[in-house]
Amino acid sequence: MSSRWVWILATMVAAWVEGPAYAACPAKPNGPSELSQCSAAANAGDVHAALALGDALADASQRLYDPAAAISWWEQAAAVGNVVALRRLFDANWYGRGALKDTFKARAYLDRAVTQGAAWARLVRALLLEGEDGSAAAELYTVLAGEGNCLAQLRLSHGHDRGGWLEKNRSQALFWAYVAAGNSRDPSLAEGHPLFESRFHYGDCGNEAYFLKGELSRMVPADLRAKVEASAAAWRPGRLPDRQGPVEIPAALGVPPAGHGASMAGVHKLPPWQQLPASLRRSPGRTKVGAEEVFATVGRSVFVVVAARNDEDMKANRVRFGSAVAMDERTLITNCHVIDEMPVIWLRQGGQMLRASASGGDGLTDRCQLTVSPGRLSAVPGVRPWEDLKVGETVYSIGAPKGLEATLGQGLVSGLRTIKGLRYVQTSAPISAGSSGGGLFDAAGNLVGITTFHLRDAEGLNFAIAADDYFR
């Protein structure tokens, strides 16, 4: 009997089975009887039975081999978010296994798996983004590394060692090599994917980390090496990574540094931080309006930041994009990683271009200020205190992702966090590369935060520094 007729028979038998058959479905069904039992369980809602059916029918070494039917069962399991089924479907379409090769469809399954938080999917997404959006790749790897994934930690170590899509910083590279060596003892923290493994050939995390930290240790001065080793020993999963040592070469232009805060080292140093004067803390309005009116009210207070190392780079469009928010007629606030080591700074809004300069910065907390000639800016109407915010209320992000001016996003306050003494507004309002330094506003148009970083493809994990922390 052909596999197609076996499959039809199994489906018909399944329809006659009365009651749930969850316990009757073996992990590896084999033969018409077991297939019918698993079919009954899967049709009754057992996701694991649907996954088992797909795996059994996709095995080319078995007489029941039916790849089309396998994909159908995987689709059923994936419909409720099963990340294993999504991985099977990604592989089938990416490699052309049992289906026509379709990378577009494969990426769609990858997106769904990323939304479900699957580590393998985020690792593959980061790999694919390295050549497309270095900052997004860095953020994804950093999140995975922060969770303890030693493959992501090794990738960050190599990236910081070689530079390019990441800033070149061998102290940071050594930090991640030490951390990866420690985490390699827990295989559960090394979920990978063949696509990643075939590209980088890391194999065993422990061996790769051992040789990597040995090589990097010879390149880092002894005193700095001791500090890095102590920092790595104290690090635990779930914590933001500490920035280690000086940056040797900044990240590729347009790519903000990965990690928390910004380096103060380099040719161009930021002026010392000075808190904003209390006179700029305007009382918040309380009348809620719609998104259109919020944008009309505060959109003119948000500028695109275009920064470069020198005038030649600016003319050649070798620049870094970000955003900044006007607090009075000449003062703006932004993130330091937007302008750090970039002394040539311009502000853009519509057809207007204004030359700006850094007037203060605290690289460790990523708070920076810009200044322009007096009388040129339109300030935000009010500033809302962090402690006055409520989880669940509507907020709007306004920034310049990819340099696209005046981009409005809507979301909710999804959390109020304190990290290393700095207060953050966690929001589902979109924040992406180029939006750093933009404004997060409440439904009355009050500034509540400066959009700072996001965990790409992790829904709701976007963060803004509380606006009133710029007054501290």
**CATH assignment at residue 357:** 2.40.10.120
In a domain, residue 84? The reply is yes
What is the domain-level CATH number for residue 43? 1.25.40.10
In a domain, residue 159? The reply is yes
Question: How far, in whole angstroms, is CA 379 from its chain's centroid?
Answer: 31
- Do 441 and 293 have their domain in common? yes
Residue 319 to residue 461: CA distance in whole angstroms: 27
- Do 190 and 170 have their domain in common? yes
In a domain, residue 262? The reply is no
Total length of the chain: 472
- Do 80 and 141 have their domain in common? no
In a domain, residue 246? The reply is no
Predicted local confidence at residue 253, as pLDDT: 35
Predicted local confidence at residue 458, as pLDDT: 44
Residue 472 to residue 465: CA distance in whole angstroms: 12
Structural domain count of the chain: 3
- Do 111 and 141 have their domain in common? no
Predicted local confidence at residue 371, as pLDDT: 93
Residue 426 to residue 454: CA distance in whole angstroms: 9
Predicted local confidence at residue 31, as pLDDT: 77
Predicted local confidence at residue 185, as pLDDT: 53
- In three-state secondary structure terms, 419 is strand
- Do 103 and 177 have their domain in common? no
Range of the domain at 90: 3-116
In a domain, residue 265? The reply is no
- Do 309 and 229 have their domain in common? no
Out of 234, 263, 292, pick the residue that ends a domain: 234
In a domain, residue 386? The reply is yes
In a domain, residue 269? The reply is no
Which residues lie below 8 Å from residue 368, measured CB to CB, with a gap of 6+? 270, 333, 334, 335, 336, 338, 339, 340, 358, 360, 361, 362
- Do 36 and 135 have their domain in common? no
Residue 332 to residue 356: CA distance in whole angstroms: 9
In a domain, residue 437? The reply is yes
- Do 431 and 317 have their domain in common? yes
- Do 226 and 327 have their domain in common? no
- Do 227 and 288 have their domain in common? no
Region label for 237, one of left (φ > 0), alpha (ψ between -120 and 50) or beta (otherwise): beta
- Structural contact between residues 468 and 385, judged by C-beta atoms closer than 8 angstroms: yes
Predicted local confidence at residue 187, as pLDDT: 58
Out of 89, 116, 143, pick the residue that ends a domain: 116
Out of 200, 234, 268, pick the residue that ends a domain: 234
Query: How high is the mean pLDDT in each 10-residue block of the chain (472 residues)?
Result: 45 40 69 84 89 88 85 92 93 89 90 90 89 78 87 89 78 89 64 82 76 84 86 79 57 39 46 90 90 91 90 84 92 91 88 88 90 83 95 92 74 88 88 80 96 58 90 92
- In three-state secondary structure terms, 452 is strand
- Do 111 and 176 have their domain in common? no
- Do 98 and 151 have their domain in common? no
